[in-house]
Amino acid sequence: MKIGFIGLGIMGSRMAANLLKGEHELFVHNRTKSKATDLLKNGAIWAETPAEVSQQVEVLFTMLENPTVVEEVALGEHGFLAAMKEDSIWIDCSTVNPSFSIKMAKKSKVQNVRFLDAPVSGSKQPAAEASLLFLVGGEKEVLDKVHPLFDLMGQKAVHLGENGKGSAMKLMINQQLGQAVLAFSESVSLGIALGFDKKMAIEVLLNTPVTAPILNVFRSRFEENNFEANFPLKHLQKDLELFTETAYENNKATPLTNTAKEVYALAKQKGQGDLDFTSIFKYLNE
Ligand code: NAP
């Protein structure tokens, strides 16, 4: 099958590498070409523009920073959507808001393109190890058709309903992720101020049922102050922003998320946007 992949950042480059293992023809594009070097060495084909990718493929994946970027790459100059083949499939894996996914599904329909929102749960390592969880919104029949491609990149693809439902579930997951890390960081930060040894405080908290299990995965980052980006803080702050925008659109109040979002915004403002989101720990401890 001819497949396209646009957006070769931390996640996209690893997902595309796994797609190559399926012996498909893979056409790739990224704003910064150097990030495609390894993929091109391994058989991927470079396309100069997003439209050059979509002209050639039956299925197109995008893994881009945020809704504004997805819209620009899809609909801007040399955008891919207008160039897609009739009846081809666009799968957007970027974390965006549900109303944006619904808008992209409508734009796709006008072009006779079928659209899935399929953001992922899992970070850099699961992307490399092909153990991502895909959260899929859109027609089940379309998902069934592309399931073998999801199998190359992940452990599971779950169908959550119509377009927008994949994006909605992704934001619900990251809202909890952001708050869990923030709450833990605040607690350890006070513990240190009270005279506890950092490692001891972390050890005790991680062994209580009140601490979210995911915090165990991040333990060494807190202990060793290693905040090299797996999931950049600016993206987590974006996800909390999209969560609160979605709540506004649906007449729901989200007081905790609004507060958490602003703490991450302060860390970003201080220059931590490209560090891992768990560096909120560093922000609160300095
Ligand atoms: P990343 O490394 O920052 O990659 C972002 C991608 O968007 C790159 O391909 C980048 O191109 C492209 N991009 C940014 N601005 C652009 C513009 N103005 N025009 C064209 N392309 C542009 O981020 P990532 O971690 O791979 O995340 C990608 C998406 O997945 C985000 O929506 C994120 O929230 C989501 N996500 C991330 C993780 C994670 O753990 N990292 C996990 C799940 C979901 P350049 O290479 O040229 O900058």
Q: Which residue owns the Cα nearest ligand 1 atom 42?
A: 123
| C-beta of 103 in contact with ligand 1 (< 6 A) | no
Strands 114-117 and 59-62 turn out to be unpaired
Phi, psi values for residue 2, rounded to 5°: -95, 120
**What is residue 280's predicted lDDT score, i.e. its pLDDT?**
98
**What is residue 286's predicted lDDT score, i.e. its pLDDT?**
87
Between the CA of 160 and the centroid of ligand 1 the distance, in Å, is: 24
Task: Output the CA angle 255-260-266, nearest 5 degrees.
Answer: 130
- Tens of pLDDT along the chain (286 residues) come to 999 999 999 999 999 999 999 989 999 999 999 999 999 999 999 999 999 999 999 999 999 999 999 999 999 999 999 999 999 999 999 999 999 999 999 999 999 999 999 999 999 999 999 999 999 999 999 999 999 999 999 999 999 999 999 999 999 999 999 999 999 999 999 999 999 999 999 999 999 999 999 999 999 999 999 999 999 999 999 999 999 999 999 999 999 999 999 999 999 999 999 999 999 999 999 8
Q: Which residue owns the Cα nearest ligand 1 atom 37?
A: 231
Contact at 8 Å (CB) between 54 and 83? yes
pLDDT in tens, 254-268: 999 999 999 999 999
Phi, psi values for residue 117, rounded to 5°: -90, 125
Supply the pTM of this predicted model: 0.97
**What is residue 209's predicted lDDT score, i.e. its pLDDT?**
97
| C-beta of 11 in contact with ligand 1 (< 6 A) | yes
Q: Report CA Rg, the chain.
A: 20
3-state secondary structure the chain: CEEEEECCCHHHHHHHHHHHCCCCEEEEECCCHHHHHHHHHCCCEECCCHHHHHCCCCEEEECCCCHHHHHHHHHCCCCCHHHCCCCCEEEECCCCCHHHHHHHHHHHHHCCCEEEECCEECCHHHHHHCCEEEEEECCHHHHHHHHHHHHHHEEEEEEEECCCHHHHHHHHHHHHHHHHHHHHHHHHHHHHHCCCCHHHHHHHHHCCCCCCCHHHHCHHHHHHCCCCCCCEHHHHHHHHHHHHHHHHHCCCCCHHHHHHHHHHHHHHHHHHCCCEHHHHHHHHHC
Between the CA of 204 and the centroid of ligand 1 the distance, in Å, is: 35
Beta bridge partners of 92: 62, 117
Q: What count of Cα atoms within 13 Å lies in the side-chain half-sphere of residue 128?
A: 4
Q: Which residue owns the Cα nearest ligand 1 atom 18?
A: 69
Phi, psi values for residue 232, rounded to 5°: -60, 140
User: How far is C-alpha 163 from the geometric centre of its chain's CA atoms?
Assistant: 17
Strands 2-6 and 25-29 turn out to be parallel
Task: Output the CA angle 71-268-11, nearest 5 degrees.
Answer: 50
Identify which of 38, 65, 117, 274 to mutate to test ligand 1's pocket (most ligand atoms within 8 A of the CB).
65
Phi, psi values for residue 119, rounded to 5°: -65, 165
Between the CA of 27 and the centroid of ligand 1 the distance, in Å, is: 18
Tokens 């768990």 locate to 278
Between the CA of 184 and the centroid of ligand 1 the distance, in Å, is: 26
| C-beta of 124 in contact with ligand 1 (< 6 A) | yes
Whether 170 is a known active-site residue: answer yes
pLDDT in tens, 137-149: 999 999 999 999 9
Exactly one of 165, 170, 234, 238 is catalytic; which is it? 170
